[in-house]
Amino acid sequence: MRDAIAAAMSRSKHEIPHYYLAHTISLKRALAYLAELNAKRPIQERILPGALLLRAVAVALWDVPELNGFWIDGAFRPSEEVHLGTAVSLRTGGLIAPAILDADDKPLDQLMAELHDLVMRARGGHLKQSELTSATITVTSLGDRGCEAVWPVINPPQVAIVGFGAVVERPWVEGGTVVPHPTVVATLAADHRVSDGHRGGLFLAAIDHLLQEPAKL
């Protein structure tokens, strides 16, 4: 597996002109919404913040579709579907990124259920071939490892990857007053042959906007 990862990442850094952006997002409203939602549910049906982040990424791609697709034979091929590759670390070592298919069409409850199922089957070696080959963009997170930001490498032939760090309390200006807010650093690595920093910035801003109105997700 390390050989396969090395080959893919070496190809990515050699062939793809990456550009990187970062955006710090307040999760005060999003976490309050989840707390209220989960208070009415049994533990096994509660929604984790990760599912809300995935949903925000999937919906934000509607505004910046050039981040969703593939670079093949010298040209960009956009995807009409949003299949979110979700990076999963394996207990035996290594990393795979199976896809949640049609993530933008699925409500938050279904997305959470499919995320849990996908992680369990990935670690148990029971993934479908379509889940391993269909991702149109990848999302990775190292927040559970305490990393505040991750600068990921694009998985070719995809043209973008999104990273999320740990949820960290930071000083935030609210109504002219500095108060603590739970925040997350969202990062984007994208292919400069397909998009530029302006469009990438709009994408991260769209994720931020969606997370400020979590009930609409």
Question: Is residue 196 annotated as part of the catalytic site, yes or no?
Answer: yes
pLDDT of residue 95: 86
Grade residue 65 by pLDDT with cuts at 50, 70 and 90: very high
Strand 99-100 to 84-86 pairing: antiparallel
For a pLDDT cut of 90, what percent of the chain falls above it?
86
Taking residues 210-214, what's their average pLDDT? 98
pLDDT of residue 88: 92
Inter-residue contact 167 to 49 (CB < 8 Å): yes
6 SS3 class: helix
Q: Residue 184: beta bridge partners?
A: 25
pLDDT, tens only, 67-87: 999 999 999 999 999 999 999
Residue type present at position 165: G
pLDDT of residue 131: 87
pLDDT, tens only, 84-138: 999 998 877 788 999 999 999 999 999 999 999 999 999 888 988 888 889 999 9
pLDDT of residue 87: 93
Q: What CA–CA distance (Å, rounded) separates 65 from 47? A: 27
pLDDT, tens only, 157-197: 999 999 999 999 999 999 999 999 999 999 999 999 999 99
The one catalytic residue among 181, 196, 198, 208: 196
User: Counting Cβ atoms within 10 Å, is residue 186 exposed (0-12), middle (13-18) or buried (19+)?
Assistant: buried
pLDDT of residue 144: 78
Question: Is residue 109 annotated as part of the catalytic site, yes or no?
Answer: no
Q: What angle do CA 183, 186, 188 make, to 5 degrees?
A: 170
Q: What CA–CA distance (Å, rounded) separates 60 from 126? A: 30
pLDDT of residue 28: 98
- Give 48's DSSP letter: P
Taking residues 199-207, what's their average pLDDT? 98
Taking residues 1-12, what's their average pLDDT? 89
Residue type present at position 141: S
Please give the structure tokens belonging to residue 175: 């109504």
Task: Identify the structural domains of the chain with CATH numbers, from first to last.
Answer: 2-216 (3.30.559.10)
Inter-residue contact 86 to 95 (CB < 8 Å): no
The one catalytic residue among 192, 198, 208, 209: 192
Task: Give the dihedral of Cα atoms 5, 2, 118, 66; nearest 10 deg.
Answer: -10
Q: Can you give the length of the chain in residues?
A: 217
pLDDT of residue 191: 98
112 SS3 class: helix
pLDDT of residue 130: 81
Inter-residue contact 25 to 211 (CB < 8 Å): yes
